[in-house]
Amino acid sequence: MTRTRIKICGLTREGDVDAAVSAGADAIGFVLYARSPRAVSLARARVLASRLPPFVTPVLLFVHAGAEELAQARVALPQSLFQFHGDETPADCDAAGQPYIRAARMAAGFDLLDFASRFPRAQALLLDAHVDGFGGGGKAFDWSLIPPSVHRPLVLSGGLNPANVIDGVLRVRPWAVDVSSGVEEAKGIKDAGLMRRFCDAVRLADDRLRTP
């Protein structure tokens, strides 16, 4: 099996970016949604992303962004992966002209198979809890809602932390995991120790999956 990738989202400080990379993150998320307490400007995201070494991907999170905003982001950070976290349609996402992942807001009755079929160009589907508002709420959802027949890369998100991510990886076997509030000391302020413990826990889960 391949290893589980790790995305740490909602970073706002240089030291946190460095600590996340040192801990072993594969992707770093920057929230470009003004209503989020973890929001940064595009200029700030570009500064923070300039610290990333090769093979660590910057991910830009958008909610209902306009075409001009997306075009500016594409020019400023051409190596980035976009993440759409609102009510964007497939046409909206495809028109951005950038590789992207699409967030799915999981709740009872949500048809993930239909959702996946409507976003065939998405690089992956990020599964998060359905909460009021947009941009992620740090809440876990019932993992049994994930049908076993979704043949797409899945990113498990929503309420993950160093204590429960092993169970999440073992039960869901996602392509990647995404964490934000679960490794924070305050909103937008990451804890280096928690980030390292989270990444170590994901590696431990992968080791268990490899063990006969």
Q: What CATH number has the domain bearing residue 120?
A: 3.20.20.70
Q: Is the pLDDT of residue 44 over 90?
A: yes
* Structural domain total, the chain: 1
Q: Which of 16, 26, 93, 128 is catalytic?
A: 128
- Express each pLDDT in 145-174 by its tens digit: 999 889 999 999 999 999 999 999 999 999
Mean pLDDT on 95-107: 95
DSSP for the chain, written as a single string: -PPPEEEEE---SHHHHHHHHHHT-SEEEEE--TTSTTB--HHHHHHHHTTPPTT-EEEEEESS--HHHHHHHHHH-TT-EEEE-SS--HHHHHHT-S-EEEEEEE-TT--HHHHHHH-TT-SEEEEEE--SSSS--S----GGGS-TT--S-EEE-SS--TTTHHHHHHHH--SEEEESGGGEEETTEE-HHHHHHHHHHHHHHHHHHH--
**Which structural domain, as residue segments, surrounds residue 13?**
5-210
pLDDT score, position 84: 97
| 9 given a catalytic annotation | yes
